[in-house]
Amino acid sequence: MKKKIYIVLIALITITSFVSCSSNSTNTESEGHKHSEEGEEGVVVLNKVQQQFLNLKIGNFEMRNLTTVVKINGQLEVAPKDRAGVTAILGGNVKSIKVFQGDKVKQGQVLAVLEHPDYITIQEEFATISNNLEFLKQEYERQKELFDNNVGAGKDYQKAKSKYNNAKVKYKSLKSRLLLLHLSPEQVKKGKISSTINIISPISGFVNSVNVMVGIYVDAKTKMFELADNSKIHADFKVYEKDVHLLNIGQKIHFIVSNKEQKEYTAEIFAIGKQFEKDTRSVHIHANIIEDKAGLIPGMYITGHLHTDKDYVKTVPNDAIVTQGVKSFIFIIKEENGENTKFKMIEIVKGKSDDGYTQVNLLEKSPEDVRVVLNKAYYLLSDMNKDEMGDDD
């Protein structure tokens, strides 16, 4: 019995040793295959998971103007013609408010409703003069006919004419006032009298402020609402005296907004101020924003730069460049194979730098549409050096 157990144990040990050796041999071959792929000089291989972990950004070279640069700052503004302060034509008490600060409104939309006895008085006067006007016209025409036929007295004719002309002036005056109050003269003629008037938006845009509340009396001087059409927003920059001579209509300005630093906007100069501010010795320049203006609000602080010359060169973000000794390099995509991507390090000569971008001159020919690593190049270099050191071991 002991002899049989001994034989079984020897057999188990032999099988285990064989499996272990086979496993080690397989792992060695697998590792050797991996190093043969990744050990290529100047190349690092990353799978999709690794790329996502690094938040690696891939793109193309960007053509940017890196010539003479003028640094500027300012704020977003809306031109006076695209802003409105809303008042009442005739004072009254606020009956209701139809909008809230920040609301988007259309031209002609009702913002508030006012009520007051004076509105009734104007309509009564208009209805009265409207009803009398036809009678005065007929009397004037009758007296004119009599006068022309030498039957009527000139005094009666002149009196009828005066009354008719005065009534016409009064009629037109009251009608204009009703239209200013957004009341219908035709409805008033039919006897439909309203004790309220609507306060109408003169422009389309956004409600920047509501300065009234229900129940208070407002007169013609009270600014009830402030509106602005943000779709017409533009960039208003200050340029100091020493740089004014470098400006021209049509120049492009690249700028960022204080709370949106990740996005760069482009604007084109359409007006240059002709007078210096006394304190800062600067002039205002105005530029139309070319991109979508959604989310931009008047008063936002902006910083930017403009290029006074036109010399567009091939650039990459500074984070795409690494150095070894005195040489500089970038990484391009050499090959994509399923989950893995081969990144090749190529040497460059750096040129001008501005605003986080650097001009690159390639020392080896590459396709115009070559895809480039735009960030985290340092991590790719570290990974490549680690692999090369591992191969030496």
Give the integer Cα–Cα distance in Å for 113 and 244.
50
Give the integer Cα–Cα distance in Å for 199 and 119.
13
Give the integer Cα–Cα distance in Å for 135 and 132.
5
Query: What is the dihedral angle through the alpha carbons of 219, 224, 229, 230, rounded to the nearest 10 degrees?
Result: 150
Other C-beta atoms closer than 10 Å to the C-beta of 214 total 11
Q: Which two tokens stand for residue 16?
A: 């285990």
Look up tokens 């809303």; give the residue: 86
Q: What CATH code is carried by the domain that includes residue 143?
A: 2.40.50.100
User: Positive or negative CA dihedral for 360, 361, 362, 368?
Assistant: positive
Q: Are residues 115 and 178 in the same domain?
A: yes
Segment (H or E) for 266: strand 260-272
Give the integer Cα–Cα distance in Å for 87 and 60.
54
- What range defines the domain where residue 241 resides? 69-81+229-311
Task: Calculate Rg over the CA atoms of the chain.
Answer: 41
Q: What CATH code is carried by the domain that includes residue 353?
A: 2.40.420.20
Segment (H or E) for 2: helix 2-38
Which of 207, 129, 118, 226 is closest to 168 using CA atoms? 129
pLDDT of the residue at 97: 96
Q: Are residues 205 and 235 in the same domain?
A: no
Give the integer Cα–Cα distance in Å for 130 and 168.
9
pLDDT of the residue at 234: 94
Q: Which two tokens stand for residue 132?
A: 């009398």
pLDDT of the residue at 164: 86
Q: Give ∠ CA 24-28-33 in degrees, rounded to 5.
A: 150
Residue 362 near residue 355 (C-beta atoms within 8 A): no
Domain ends where: 227, 249, 266? 227
Q: Are residues 287 and 344 in the same domain?
A: no
pLDDT of the residue at 388: 60
Q: Are residues 278 and 192 in the same domain?
A: no
Domain ends where: 172, 202, 227? 227
Which of 136, 88, 135, 132 is closest to 114 using CA atoms? 88
Domain ends where: 263, 278, 311? 311
Three-state DSSP at 70 gives strand
Q: Are residues 261 and 156 in the same domain?
A: no
Residues 6 or more apart in contact with residue 220 via CB below 8 angstroms = 87, 88, 89, 90, 91
Residue 87 near residue 222 (C-beta atoms within 8 A): yes
Give the integer Cα–Cα distance in Å for 258 and 294.
15
pTM beyond cutoff 0.85: no
Report strand pairing: 205-210 vs 104-105: antiparallel
Residue 25 in any domain: the answer is: no
Q: Are residues 102 and 171 in the same domain?
A: yes
Look up tokens 């007051």; give the residue: 116
pLDDT of the residue at 247: 87
Give how many domains the chain has, as a whole number: 3
Residue 364 in any domain: the answer is: yes
Residues 6 or more apart in contact with residue 392 via CB below 8 angstroms = none
Residue-by-residue pLDDT tens, the chain, 393 positions: 444 444 433 343 343 343 343 334 334 333 433 433 445 778 888 899 988 898 999 999 988 877 667 889 999 999 889 999 999 999 999 999 999 999 999 999 999 999 999 999 999 999 998 888 888 888 877 777 777 676 667 777 788 888 888 888 999 999 999 999 999 999 998 889 999 999 999 999 999 999 999 999 999 999 999 999 988 999 999 998 888 888 889 988 989 998 777 788 999 999 999 888 888 889 999 999 998 888 888 889 999 988 776 677 889 999 999 998 889 999 999 888 888 999 999 999 988 887 788 989 988 888 888 999 999 898 888 888 776 655 544
